[in-house]
Amino acid sequence: MASEGLFDMILQTKPIFKDREYLRHSYTPEKLPHRDEQIQQIARILAAPLRGETPSNVLIYGKPGTGKTATVNYVAKELEKVSEKAPIKVKVVYLNCERVNTHYRILAKLSDTFLEGLRNHRGKEFLTKMNLPTHVPRTGWPTDEVYKSFLKSLDDEKQLAVIILDEIDKLVRKSGDDVLYSLTRMNSELKNAKVSIIGISNDLHFMEYLDSRVRSSLGEEETVFPPYNAHQLRDILHQRSEISFIDGVLTDPVIQLCAAHAAREHGDARRALDLLRVSGEIAESMGAENVNVEHVRKAHERIELDQTVEVIKTLPVQSKLLLYSISMLAERTPRAVISGDVYGLYEDFCRQVGLDILTRRRVSDLISELDVLGVIDAKIINKGRYGRTKEIKLNVHPLQVQAAVQQDYLFSDLRAENFRFPTRA
């Protein structure tokens, strides 16, 4: 291999990207195409405090990648800016409930935000005088202590706290609606300040799990973000590609194909941008001068695979072993994979690698988790006399699962030795 040619080749390759950062999800563009209606609607609701009224709480629905978060943050930032001249100050707090997902953590985060503001504004001595801490520890306090400290720090002046709870459905699913209950009731306890909540959810049905009082308070206003269609996705891609790709390397069919792919997957703009970026990266690595539809096809495959492999690799050990058992059964048995068989093989593997064997009950939950992740599809079926079970369908090729699991050194040498695979239906 001629090593001096290595860098020559890379240096000779014409660049494809101007700046690929503009294609990442973290980048929020100045203009949000096809979201004017939603921007107007949210702005109208949030503008109330500037006229001295309390704004309503808002719930925002929409599939992933429909611009919910970007739109809300955009409007909130504008509001914060405008409020500097208004009689009432607006402070926006953004919380992603995927990470901040318990009663305690939400209150702690909110409390910290306002304590910090207070410290900068009034000084540290003021906090001591008011009997307030400088910050709330990550754990250790009783929850109502945290609540009180939030209440006090917020109520210090006439202001509006706009609390954005992104992925609020995950919060409710994990910790129930206690937090939402206390947050929605706060306004009656506050003398100076006001609270307004913006909930963002992917799930249209999560409201069903809420207490009816919380439901009516939270859902005073609702805004739905429809999925982008292929045409709108194309506009978004055009907008971003102009600043991120070198002129002329992208052709219209390429953008159209990316848009079409993403439109098929519930109009997810993030997906469309990923696809465009990875297509560019593939074209670049192949030394192509421009991006073509073949690169898009390859990118599509790669994204799919990378995602599932990543999901599997980051699974806890027990889930990995369980998934491995499922993949073995899927590969070797003619009949459908059912939970009873999975448990048997799982036990066998546990003994082999010296892992504790979890109970059926726990395994049942783990299977449901795998289902939620989308790696498998689990369907409850009744087989009459032969009981009730879950029929499991693997959404990934068994060999891909096995390869991903075996990257964990614990499982590199797993064999199904003692297990008798079921043979007939």
What residues make contact with DNA under the rule CB under 7 A?
101-105, 133, 137-143, 174-175, 316, 318, 338-341, 343, 356-362, 364-368, 380, 382-390
Tell me the closest approach of the beta carbon of residue 3 to DNA, in angstroms: 47
154 or 321: whose CB is closer to DNA?
321
Cβ proximity to DNA: between 90 and 358 the closer is: 358
Residue with smaller CB distance to DNA, 12 or 382: 382
Measured from the CB atom, is 101 or 184 closer to DNA?
101
In the complex, least distance from residue 149 CB atom to DNA, rounded to whole angstroms: 10
CB of 360 to DNA, least distance (A): 6
Q: Which is nearer to DNA, 174 or 415 (CB)?
A: 174
Nearer to DNA, 52 or 354 (CB): 354
- Min dist. Cβ of residue 364 to DNA (A): 4
Cβ at position 124, least distance to DNA in Å = 15
Position 371, amino acid: D
Which is nearer to DNA, 316 or 374 (by Cβ)?
Answer: 316
